[in-house]
Each structure stands twice: as C-alpha cells, then as structure tokens.
Amino acid sequence: MEKILLHTCCAPCSSAIIEWMLHNEYHPVIFYYNPNIYPLAEYEIRKGECTRYAKSLGLDIIDGDYNHQAWMSCIAGLEAEPERGTRCLECFKMRLLVSAGKAKELGIERFTTTLASSRWKNLNQITEAGIWAATQVPETVLWEKNWRKGGLYERRNILLKEHNFYNQQYCGCEFSMGSKNTLKTK
C-alpha cells in the first residue's frame, strides 16, 4: 500500500477521499494543517471531527501547528479580496507548502489535498498552489486529483449524514464568513 500524505481541511471533505484511498490500495497519512480557520473554537471543532473519523478507521492524524497570526501575515494586504481571489491562492500555497514539507519529513513522495473536493474552491488555484509547493520541496510531487468526481461528492454527503459530522457553513477564515453560500460553483 502506497503512503500518500493527505492534507485535510475537515471531516466532511475528507471522509469519502479517505474511504476511496483505503479501497484503492493507498494508505493516507492524514495531515491537519489549517491556520486559516477562525476562530480557534471553529478550528478545534473541525480538527476534532477529523480526528474522530480517522480514529474510527484506525488511522493516525498529524496535527499541524495552529498559528493564525502567521497566516494573517501571509495574506496581509489581501483581506478585501473576494472568495476564489488572490487571498485564497496565497492561503493554499501556504498550507500546501507546509504539507509538502511534512511529506518530505515523513519520507512520503506524493501529497494531495481535500481542498480539491470542495465545490466552493477554485480547483485551478489548488492545483497551481500544490505544484508550486512541490517545486519548493525537492523529492515531493503533488498528486493532482479532482476529488469531486467519480461519485465522491455524493459519497461525501452520505458519509456526512452517517457519521453526523459537523458541517461548517464557511470556508474557514474570517474573511470568508460574510460570503458563505453566496458563491456560484464551477
């Protein structure tokens, strides 16, 4: 079974991907790194749900450091950007760079992200950020996969109900709170 570092953002987005990986001979090493999430209580709820699901499958989860101030510094000057704008791209780059670094630290070549499952996110930005991160961390490769396809989005919704996951209503950062449920999907 090939190990893949799976950057995960939340249990609803992760569940179907993890299930698919396990059924397809991949061993996901779950990495929860999301310094963008605000407030801290929201971060803890999302992390707790990811941990609960991972443990139910007998998987470990690695908790990345929560440093919201570092994230704020990363996106400084982009606070007024709309969802799917430059702020999101910089956020993805930060999170996927740390994920690529964690993959290398663990001796895992390929990494991917559950961000690519969200219909609220721009898949091209996620791919761009992941490829960029892999170029910054030698011996890592982004596994470019559209996790919205192949019935995974539908399976996500089934697992959300089966496991009674907390299902957040905004991306995570304070700047996405006001725009929840207002984006058109691509």
Q: What is the pLDDT of residues 133-175, one digit of tens each?
A: 999 999 999 999 999 999 999 999 999 999 999 998 888 999 9
* Domain CATH code at residue 109: 3.40.50.620
**16 inside domain:** yes
Tally Cβ neighbours within 10 Å of residue 28: 25
Kindly state whether residue 185 falls inside one of the protein's structural domains.
Answer: no
Establish if 186 belongs to a structural domain. no
* CB neighbourhood size of 36 (10 A): 25
pLDDT number for residue 182 = 40
Q: Is 172 left (phi over 0), alpha (psi -120 to 50) or beta?
A: left
Q: What share of the chain has pLDDT > 90, as a percent?
A: 90
Say whether pLDDT at 180 is over 80.
Answer: no
User: Structural domain tally of the chain?
Assistant: 1
